[in-house]
Amino acid sequence: MHVFTTVHQLKKFLNKLSNGQKSVAFVPTLGALHAGHLSLMHHASQIADLVVVSIFVNPTQFNDLKDLEKYPRPLAQDIHLLTTNRVDVLFVPPAEEVYPKELKLVVPIDISHLTNVMEGPNRPGHFEGVVMVVKRLLDIVTPNYLVMGQKDYQQQAIIGSMIDQLKIPCKLITHPTERDKDGLALSSRNVRIDSHLRPIANTLYLALQRSITLMTSKTAAEVAKIASEMISEKGFQLEYFSIVDGNTLQPIKQWEDSEKIVACVAAWLGDVRLIDNIRLK
């Protein structure tokens, strides 16, 4: 695996190697890699000639400075995982490579219609930071495919909208969520779940699955209420359980309102914030 820390080195390598002939799949990450990330890389290796991964703890997407400082950075372990998982190129830039002084920091599109719900109000400025960094990384890597996880449903929907609006010649591939045996969505935060709370951590997934079975007999509002109660009763602090249109991310009222419906949830288990989602239709 080739490891680069500067934009110049990376671009030089990609230009020389691909020479416009080889297809590139790109997987941006914050590091602290787990099997969920690796499933994206595995998929990337199946659809393109070259897999490029970035590890960059992007400061502009953290609205909480403490969270940024606390973010795990096990780089040696990550590099070991990547070398054993068919990744061709790792880009690990310092912040000044991603955001050089001469580059004007701009959010390249209006995303307010997609950030006024769910994660948006809870994490002000987060998606603006994500859009900024992904646009910059796409400009640097110019991949044919961008591979992201469904786990962060709102994130991939916003990036998909950016790619459409800016007509970026790159196809977004959204990969299904990788889960533990009991259904808990894999996340870098899971290691922080208190061991006595771990047995109930899959409640979010169970509530999402229950929503699917309830759809035939209940309204969307009723389903959201039952699922929310199921989560709260176990002792989670629920932030939201939303049933939304998969593209606009706005809540739906009737099941017939949309062709693509997703249930999304965020809740605190002790001091760990968990998110998950499931496609209902």
Q: What number of other Cβ atoms are within 10 A of residue 222's Cβ?
A: 12
Draw the binding track, 1-30, toward ligand AMP (x: CB under 6 A; -: no contact): ----------------------------xx
| Beta carbons of 147 and 28 less than 8 angstroms apart | no
Distance in Å, CB of 12 to ligand AMP, minimum? 26
d(CA 276, CA 281): 16
Number of residues that make up the chain: 281
Residue of 2, 8, 37, 126 marked catalytic? 37
* Known catalytic membership, residue 37: yes
Among 51, 141, 148, 220, binds ligand AMP (CB under 6 A): 148
Question: 3-state DSSP call for residue 268?
Answer: strand
| Beta carbons of 208 and 263 less than 8 angstroms apart | yes
Return the number of the residue (202 or 220) whose C-beta is nearest ligand AMP.
Answer: 202
Q: Is residue 169 exposed (0-12), middle (13-18) or buried (19+ Cβ within 10 Å)?
A: exposed
d(CA 71, CA 31): 9
Return the number of the residue (160 or 255) whose C-beta is nearest ligand AMP.
Answer: 160
What does each C-alpha distance from 129 to 58, 195, 258 come to in angstroms?
8, 33, 29
Q: How close are the terminal C-alpha atoms of the chain, in Å?
A: 40
d(CA 115, CA 119): 7
> Would you count residue 60 as binding ligand AMP (CB under 6 A)?
no
Distance in Å, CB of 32 to ligand AMP, minimum? 7
Phi, psi of 170 (to 5 degrees): -150, 140
Draw the binding track, 173-212, toward ligand AMP (x: CB under 6 A; -: no contact): --x-xx------xxxx------------------------
Among 26, 36, 45, 227, binds ligand AMP (CB under 6 A): 36
Distance in Å, CB of 187 to ligand AMP, minimum? 6
Interface residues toward ligand AMP, by CB under 6 A: 29-30, 36-37, 39-40, 148-149, 151-152, 175, 177-178, 185-188
Catalytic sites, residue numbers: 37
